[in-house]
Amino acid sequence: MKGCVFMDSISNEDDPSSLPPLCLSRDTLRFQYTCKGGLRSAIRVARVVVETVALNHSNVRWYVFGDDDTIFLPENLVKTLSKYDHELWYYIGAHSEIYEQNRLFGFGMAFDGAGFAISSSLANVLAKVFDSCLERYHHLYGSDGRVYSCLAELGVGLIHVPAFHQVDLTGNIFGLLAAHPVTPLLSLHHPDFTDPIFPNMTTTQALQHLFKAVNVGSQRMLQQTICYEKWFSWTISVSWGYAVQVFPSHNMFLPDVVNVQETFKQWKQGNVWAKTYTFNTRPLHHDPCKRSTIFYSDNMSFGEDGMIKSYYNKSFQNCSKELGSLNKLEVIKVFTNKLDLDIKQLQAPRRQCCDVLPSSASDQLEIGVRECKDKELIFMH
């Protein structure tokens, strides 16, 4: 992978050794910008597509673009893009989580905060015609709208991949992360507009903590598996590398568990569409004692047998009721193999299964994650 951060100016005070490669974007004053309330810097940002191709790196397969507050998982990007032929024309990304944002800017547009990818064969053509598109689309608000419009004129539509995350949300995005789609996590966005994703940490500390898990098992990151503890009638949701949830004395159907909990707040105040999401949600229960008990990722390690052992510690729960054995539970251990998806698994993904394993300690629960058997169903037996 190669690349750079595009700047509109570079200070002599910057220490190059502490920064990624920097590129100076070219002047765009010759292009009109007529969107009231917008920023003409959108033209500079859009034209990064042209200027990146002009860097003329050899053997490029894909060009990937994002904002200055977009967080990428490089290994997962490479793995996911490998299922597409870069010699064909591909425009790959995701739209916003908010219906209103998509209604305004287009359901067919890849939001650049989430990040998007363009195959090299398409990018080489787009770079040759893009300036003429900039002249026609001077009325648009953002950079991503200009890229989308020019690709539309070339006859290319968006391949939607929900693992790119625009995160047009505020507050606690636990519900979004804990119910990730069955596909490798590719990006996160807007970390300064949301709460730290781990408790008792700053935003930077929380992201660094997340990447400890990414560095151990990138492709398994946030992958959600569901299993059931029969004796106590617990429903258990494992979002690997992030959190484990235990739902007390409540056998939940799997389609209900994988719906996104509304732990977050809407991006903007407005009409009903401003708080309408593009995925199925379930409300956060008003009674804390009827919510799941959350165990956040603490650390993980490889065993001698190649298994990954990850530890999840109980988070504070604002509930004074006696929940029996769940009150005693302090640590959950999860055992799994390193995930390395092949091309067929990428093309036809399937959620994995998990089992509650025997544990010798009353304050611990052990779970094994594995591939499901051919005819195996995930439900309370």
- pLDDT confidence tier of residue 232, bands split at 50, 70 and 90: confident
pTM above 0.85, yes or no: yes
Under a CB-based contact definition with an 8 Å cutoff, are residues 210 and 242 in contact?
yes
Which position has the token pair 């004053």? 29
- The pLDDT, as a whole number, for residue 381 is 74
- CB atoms near residue 300 (< 10 Å): 20
Specify the higher pLDDT residue, 300 or 19: 300
Per-residue pLDDT tens digits for 119-172: 999 999 999 999 999 999 999 999 999 999 999 999 999 999 999 999 999 999
Question: For residue range 187-228, what is the model confidence (pLDDT) as tens digits?
Answer: 999 999 999 999 999 999 999 999 999 999 999 999 999 999
List strand residue ranges (DSSP E) for the chain, in order: 5-7, 22-24, 62-65, 70-72, 91-93, 116-119, 158-160, 169-171, 187-189, 224-229, 234-239, 243-247, 260-261, 264-266, 281-282, 293-302, 308-314, 331-336, 353-357, 364-370
Task: Label residue 249 by pLDDT band (50, 70, 90).
Answer: low
